[in-house]
Amino acid sequence: MRWAAPAALRLGEFSLRFRPLDLGWILLTTLGLFAAVLAAATIGSFPLGWQQVWAGLWQPSGSGEGAMAHQVLWQLRMPRILAAMLVGACLSLAGVILQSLTRNALAAPGLIGVEAGGSVTMLMSLVLFPGLVPVYLLPLTALAGGLVVAVFILMLALRGDFSPLRLILVGIGTTAMLQAVSELLLTYGDIDRVESALMWLGGSLHKVTWTEVRVLALWFLLAGVPAMFAFRQLNLLQLGPAVASSRGLSQRRTLAVLLLASVMLTSSAVATAGTMVFVGLIGPHLARQCCGDRHGILLPLAALSGALLVLIGDTLGRWVFAPLQLPAGLVVAIVGAPYFIFLIARRREFAN
């Protein structure tokens, strides 16, 4: 089949081999993302038409009716849309990296407790010392908690005979414990603060402004973009430690750097939007259905599908019960938990 012959993209020492079909998938997801962005921009308590959105995007600022549309679009909808996409991309990328490091298709940052760890330190800083940490460094507080959990999990995962399933079960235990800690903080906070904290824990983007978008973009540039260039290392790691070291991969350092990247991505998402347990599982899994385990394509495709997932979740959450808003994370969980169940039901190692 000539049309499926792999092509190669060379850029310095990086060479990325891809198949035409991969480009098709990326194109399709990107188109879907565009459609979702347009839908998200029109839907809301102040409905806008397609033309108004289009005009509002390009006009510097209109007058009268146009000014209002411009205001809604640029002050409320655009930051929220961008933040949803960035959060989804971050979590999904973090999921792919974690899954390849542990060689475990179920290892998502939400399931193994990294998100819970991040949210505990975040809640501590929010409830106990509000205003102590500047917005740009908030991901750092989430990073501290997430990193502790991730290192603990990885140490277990790398112990000789540690099976993937035990890893997930340990994660479930860790998550339950950490949830108790966050509940502790939630039950005793001031009710107004707790309400917004519950909203935040459920994975909400309702208070996002351009500042949060900038923070997310910064962290995505710091951790996500470099991670996308690590596809060669991830491909090697997936073949197992023996093959990887025989191809000259310094495992310890690669693991440490990639784990840090994964936790950084998770933390920035958690710091902005709270916990979204299933995004890091479903985003990568959808992408894997399309292009398999070739990380050169898998990483960007997973980022795109994660972005699409959270954007759709957030838009649905705004729309279904309007004027009430559901956090995107809850919408994703209500869709994602059945999907996870479906994955478990289908896994061959459980078939007995």
Question: Which positions lie near another protein, rule CB under 8 A?
Answer: 106, 111, 156, 163, 165-166, 168-170, 172-174, 176-177, 179-181, 183-184, 186-188, 191, 194-195, 198-199, 202, 277-278, 321, 324, 326-327, 330, 333-334, 337-338, 340-341, 344-345, 350, 352
Give whichever of 37 and 123 is closer to another protein, judged by the CB atom. Answer: 123
Residue 10 C-beta: closest distance to another protein, Å: 43
Asked if residues 207 and 126 have their Cβ atoms less than 8 Å apart, the reply is no
Closest-CA residue to 107 (of 117, 91, 116, 95) = 95
Residue 179 C-beta: closest distance to another protein, Å: 7
Cα separation, 97 vs 114, whole angstroms? 13
Closest-CA residue to 316 (of 40, 27, 96) = 40
Give whichever of 137 and 190 is closer to another protein, judged by the CB atom. Answer: 190
Give whichever of 156 and 158 is closer to another protein, judged by the CB atom. Answer: 156
Residue 351 C-beta: closest distance to another protein, Å: 8
User: Would you give the DSSP letter of residue 123?
Assistant: H
Residue 283 C-beta: closest distance to another protein, Å: 17
Closest-CA residue to 87 (of 253, 216, 181) = 216
Number of other CB atoms surrounding residue 15 within 10 Å:
11
Q: What's the one-letter identity of residue 4?
A: A
Residue 201 C-beta: closest distance to another protein, Å: 8
Give whichever of 178 and 208 is closer to another protein, judged by the CB atom. Answer: 178
Residue 285 C-beta: closest distance to another protein, Å: 14
**15 phi and psi, to 5 degrees?**
-130, 130
Residue 92 C-beta: closest distance to another protein, Å: 18
Closest-CA residue to 258 (of 87, 97, 88) = 97
Residue 7 C-beta: closest distance to another protein, Å: 40
Give whichever of 279 and 299 is closer to another protein, judged by the CB atom. Answer: 279
Residue 202 C-beta: closest distance to another protein, Å: 5
Cα separation, 278 vs 285, whole angstroms? 11
Closest-CA residue to 226 (of 135, 97, 136) = 97
Give whichever of 57 and 155 is closer to another protein, judged by the CB atom. Answer: 155
Residue 325 C-beta: closest distance to another protein, Å: 8
Asked if residues 307 and 82 have their Cβ atoms less than 8 Å apart, the reply is no
Buried b (16+ CB within 10 A) or exposed e, 18-36: bbeebeebbeebeebbeeb
Give whichever of 111 and 297 is closer to another protein, judged by the CB atom. Answer: 111
| Sequence-distant (≥ 6) Cβ neighbours of residue 194 within 8 angstroms | 186, 187
Tokens of 96: 């792919």
Counting Cα atoms < 13 Å in the Cβ hemisphere of 309 gives 35
Q: Where are the beta strands (DSSP E) in 24-179?
A: none
Give whichever of 49 and 195 is closer to another protein, judged by the CB atom. Answer: 195
Give whichever of 69 and 201 is closer to another protein, judged by the CB atom. Answer: 201
Give whichever of 174 and 305 is closer to another protein, judged by the CB atom. Answer: 174
| Sequence-distant (≥ 6) Cβ neighbours of residue 310 within 8 angstroms | 84, 85, 87, 88, 91, 273, 276, 279, 328, 332
DSSP secondary structure of 88-102: HHHHHHHHHHHHHHH
